[in-house]
Amino acid sequence: MAIINKPSDFFNTKLYNGSGSNQSITGVGFQPDWVWIKERNGTNEHNLFDSVRGTTKRLESSTTAAEQTSSTTLTAFGSDGFTVGNNGGTGQSGGNYVGWNWKAGTSFTNDASGTGIGTIDSSGSVNQDAGFSIVKWVANGSNATIKHGLSTAPSMIILKTTSVQKNWVVGHDAIGWGKNLWLNGTDAVNTGSTYWNNTAPTSSVFSVGTAGDTNDSGETIIAYCFAEKQSYSKFGFYIGNGNADGPFIYTGFKPSFIMGKRTDGTGPWWMLDNKRDGYNVTNRYLLANDSRTEGTDAEYNTDILSNGFKARYNNGNFNASGGSYIYMAFAENPFVAGNFNVATAR
C-alpha cells in the first residue's frame, strides 16, 4: 500500500474571518469536494456542503433539518479553496470560522441493473488514493446495496437524508454494522439491524435496510464514505482510563483532525484539529451535534503526537474509566513518510 507523503493534498483545515460580503477563502491547497464550516465565536449551526449536491446547498450536522438552499452560504468550490457569502454560518462580519476540507474529485455514476453492482442506482465523487467518496441516491424502502465508488470497504459512513427531516446516521467498524450512532445526537450506540441491514460494507457496496433514516422510499440521500489509508486516515476505538494521564491512541501519523464519541453512554461528538490551538495541550473543541461556540475547557485536553494522540483529562465524554469511544482521524504528517522524514509532536 502506497504511503501518502503529503496528507494536506487530501484534507486540510482552514481558519478565516468573515467579511460580511462575498469572499474567496484560499490556502486550502486543493479544490475541496466536502466542506464543513462552523462559526467559532457564535452559535450558528454547522454548515456542510459538497460538490455532488452542489453549491449553496447546506446541511446541518447538529440538526435533523433537510437540505437548505441559500445563495449567501458557500457559492463556489475553487482550485485552492471555496467562496462564501455573508450568511451567519459561513461569512458574517465579525465571525471567526473553521472550515474542514476533504478532496474527492473523480465523478462516477452507477446503473445498478447494468453493472450488476448494487441494487440502487447511485452517483457521486471519489478519491481512491485518500479512501473518500461522496454518494447520492434515491431510496427504495427495501433492503438494498449501493455502490460507494471505493476499491476497499469503508470503515466509516456518515449518511443523511437530504429531501426531508431525518437523523444523521453513522456506521463504524468498531461498533459493528448491526449498530449505529446519530451524528446530530448524544445517544449511546443503538442496536438496530434495519439501518445497515446488519451487513458490513464490501469493497464495492454498502448495505441499507428498511429504517426510515437510511432508506425511506423516494427520498434523496447523501453518504460520506471513508476507507482507512495507511499514513493518512484511521477509524478506530479506545478505552478510557479515567485519569489525566489518559490512554495513548496510536494512529500511525501525526493527526490534523480528530472527531470522536463515547459509544457505551451518552456524550457529544467532539472535534479537535491542529490549527485552532497549534500546540499541545490542544483543547479548543467544537461539537458536531451542537451549535454552541468553540470551547476551551480542560475536559478535552489532548496531546497531538507524532504517531497518535493522548487524552489528558478524565472527562466522561472523552476519557471515563472503562468508557468505550470511537474516532475518525486524518493526518498532518505520516509518522515516517516515503521520503523517510519523521513526524514530530508539537
Summarised one tens digit per residue, pLDDT across range 219-233 is 999 999 999 999 999
Residues 6 or more apart in contact with residue 172 via CB below 8 angstroms: 155, 156, 181, 235, 326
**Average pLDDT of the residues in 327-340:** 75
The whole-angstrom separation of Cα 115 and Cα 262 is 39
> Bridge-partner residues for 77, per DSSP?
82
DSSP state of 270: E
Beginning with the edge strand found earlier in the chain, give each strand of the sheet holding 248-250 in spatial order: 248-250, 308-311, 302-305
C-alpha Rg value of the chain to the nearest Å: 19
345: confidence class by pLDDT, cuts 50, 70, 90 = low
**In the chain, % of residues over pLDDT 70:** 96
- Phi then psi for residue 318, to 5 deg, are -135, -30
End-to-end CA distance of the chain: 28
What pLDDT, on the 0 to 100 scale, is given for residue 3?
Answer: 75
Cβ atoms of residues 132 and 124 within 8 Å: no
User: pTM here?
Assistant: 0.96
| Nine cell digits for residue 303 | 496531546
**Average pLDDT of the residues in 151-177:** 98
| Nine cell digits for residue 2 | 502506497
Cβ atoms of residues 154 and 147 within 8 Å: no
- Average pLDDT score over the chain: 95
Cβ atoms of residues 168 and 160 within 8 Å: yes
What pLDDT, on the 0 to 100 scale, is given for residue 76?
Answer: 98
**Average pLDDT of the residues in 102-128:** 98
195: confidence class by pLDDT, cuts 50, 70, 90 = very high
Question: CB neighbours (10 Å) of residue 114?
Answer: 8
pLDDT beyond 90 at 238: yes
Per-residue pLDDT reduced to its tens digit, 59-82 = 999 999 999 999 999 999 999 999
Report helix, strand or coil for 135. Answer: strand
Report helix, strand or coil for 105. Answer: coil
- Phi then psi for residue 311, to 5 deg, are -70, 140
What pLDDT, on the 0 to 100 scale, is given for residue 286?
Answer: 98
What pLDDT, on the 0 to 100 scale, is given for residue 263?
Answer: 98
**Average pLDDT of the residues in 154-170:** 98
**Average pLDDT of the residues in 89-97:** 98
- Class of 106-226 per CATH? mainly beta
Per-residue pLDDT reduced to its tens digit, 246-257 = 999 999 999 999
What pLDDT, on the 0 to 100 scale, is given for residue 344?
Answer: 53
pLDDT beyond 60 at 343: no
Per-residue pLDDT reduced to its tens digit, 278-327 = 889 999 999 999 999 999 989 999 999 999 999 999 999 999 999 999 99
Residues 6 or more apart in contact with residue 203 via CB below 8 angstroms: 150, 151, 152, 153
Per-residue pLDDT reduced to its tens digit, 10-52 = 999 999 999 999 999 999 999 999 999 999 999 999 999 999 9
pLDDT beyond 70 at 342: no
What pLDDT, on the 0 to 100 scale, is given for residue 337?
Answer: 46
**Average pLDDT of the residues in 84-102:** 98
**Average pLDDT of the residues in 192-217:** 97
pLDDT beyond 50 at 122: yes
pLDDT beyond 50 at 340: no
The whole-angstrom separation of Cα 303 and Cα 283 is 9
| Nine cell digits for residue 272 | 479537535
334: confidence class by pLDDT, cuts 50, 70, 90 = confident
Domain ranges of the chain: 7-102, 106-226, 233-334
| Nine cell digits for residue 115 | 453493472
Helix/strand number for the chain, H first, E second = 3, 27
**Average pLDDT of the residues in 175-204:** 98
Identify the CA nearest to 285 among candidates 249, 309, 253. 309
Exposed e or buried b for every residue in 270-304, given b needs 16+ CB within 10 A? bbbbbebbeebebbbbbbbbbbeebeeeeebbbbb
What pLDDT, on the 0 to 100 scale, is given for residue 297?
Answer: 87
pLDDT beyond 70 at 336: no
